[in-house]
C-alpha cells in the first residue's frame, strides 16, 4: 500500500522548530512535501499575494520555501509543486495558541483552511508556548495519533481541525484529548504610541486576552485543565441561525 502524501506548512517560517518537529513526525507516517514561508508570517490570517510576485526555492529534498503568506504556500504547493493531490495537509506546529478568537488571525489555521477549501483533509497544530525554544516533545505522540486517526477515518467535508496543545511544565505529558467548541473571547487591545528619531509617530499593537466564556466544553477550558483541544472549524461563515430573523425584515 502506498504511503499517504502529506503536505506540511506553517506560518512561523520553514526553519522554525515547530515545523521541523512536524516534518519529522509526518515522515514516520507518509511521504512528505513541505511548502512553507521563507520568513515568519504570524498573524497574516488568510491574506494572499495578488499585487506582487511570488518566489519559491527548493531548500532540500521535498522542501520548498515561499516568499508569500501561509495561504499562498498551500495554493502554490497544490497548483505547482506537489504534482498530485495530497491525502492530508498539516500546518504548524505553531509557536503560540490559536485557540478561541485567535483562529481568526492565525496564518497557521488559514493555511489549513485553504487546503480544506480545496477538498483536502487538513489540521492546524499549535502549542501554547510562544518561545522559540518551546518543548514540543510531550505533544509528539498526540500529534501523530490525531493525524493517523484523520487519515483512517477522514474529516467531514467543509471542516478543518484546530488542535491546540497546552504548555506543560518539566516535560509533563498532556492529560489527553478533548473535542471542544471554540470559546467566546476577545482581545482588549491598545496601541503603544512612540516617536521615531525623525519625529514620526509609530505604533505597536498590544493587548490583553479576555475570556468571555465560562463553559466547560470549550477549547480554553480544556487547555486550562491540561488537555489538548480539538475544535472542528468550518469555513462556511454563514450565520444560519440569523437567516430567519433577516427574512422577517421588509427587504424587497
Please give the annotated binding residues for a divalent metal cation, written as ranges: 11-12, 42, 94
Task: Tell me the DSSP string of 77-144.
Answer: IIIIISSS--SEEEEEEEES---GGGGGT-HHHHHHHHHHHTT--EEEEEES---TT---GGGHHHHH
23: helix, coil or strand? helix
User: From CA 8, how far away is CA 65, in angstroms rounded?
Assistant: 11
> CB–CB of 220/171 below 8 Å?
no
Counted residue by residue, the chain has a size of 252
Q: How far is CA 177 from CA 174, 206, 214, 252, in A?
A: 8, 31, 19, 49
* Cis peptide bond prior to 93, omega within 30° of 0: yes
9: helix, coil or strand? strand
User: From CA 121, how far away is CA 6, in angstroms rounded?
Assistant: 10
Copy the grid coordinates of residue 122: 487538513
Binding-site members are 11-12, 42, 94
Copy the grid coordinates of residue 86: 495530497
User: From CA 111, how far away is CA 11, in angstroms rounded?
Assistant: 8
Amino acid at each position: 500500500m502506498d504511503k499517504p502524501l502529506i503536505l506540511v506548512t506553517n506560518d512561523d517560517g520553514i526553519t522554525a522548530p515547530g515545523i521541523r518537529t512536524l516534518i519529522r513526525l509526518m515522515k514516520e507516517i507518509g511521504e512528505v512535501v513541505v511548502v512553507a514561508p521563507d520568513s515568519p508570517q504570524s498573524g497574516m490570517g488568510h491574506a494572499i499575494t495578488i499585487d506582487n510576485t511570488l518566489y519559491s526555492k527548493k531548500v532540500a529534498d521535498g522542501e520548498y520555501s515561499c516568499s508569500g503568506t501561509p495561504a499562498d504556500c498551500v495554493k502554490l504547493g497544490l497548483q505547482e509543486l506537489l504534482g498530485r493531490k495530497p491525502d492530508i495537509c498539516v500546518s504548524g506546529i505553531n509557536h503560540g495558541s490559536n485557540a478561541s478568537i485567535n483562529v481568526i488571525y492565525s496564518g497557521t489555521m488559514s493555511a489549513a483552511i485553504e487546503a480544506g477549501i480545496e477538498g483536502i483533509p487538513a489540521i492546524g497544530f499549535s502549542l501554547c508556548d510562544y518561545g522559540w525554544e518551546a518543548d514540543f516533545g510531550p505533544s509528539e505522540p498526540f500529534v501523530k495519533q490525531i493525524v493517523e486517526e484523520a487519515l483512517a477515518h477522514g474529516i467531514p467535508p467543509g471542516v478543518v481541525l484546530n488542535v491546540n496543545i497546552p504548555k506543560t511544565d518539566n516535560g509533563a505529558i498532556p492529560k489527553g484529548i478533548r473535542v471542544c467548541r471554540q470559546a467566546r473571547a476577545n482581545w482588549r487591545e491598545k496601541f503603544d504610541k512612540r516617536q521615531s528619531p525623525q519625529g514620526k509617530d509609530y505604533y505597536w499593537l498590544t493587548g490583553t486576552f479576555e475570556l468571555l466564556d465560562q463553559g466547560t466544553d470549550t477549547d480554553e477550558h480544556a487547555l486550562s485543565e491540561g488537555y489538548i483541544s480539538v475544535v472542528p472549524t468550518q469555513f462556511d461563515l454563514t450565520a444560519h441561525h440569523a437567516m430567519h430573523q433577516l427574512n422577517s425584515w421588509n427587504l424587497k
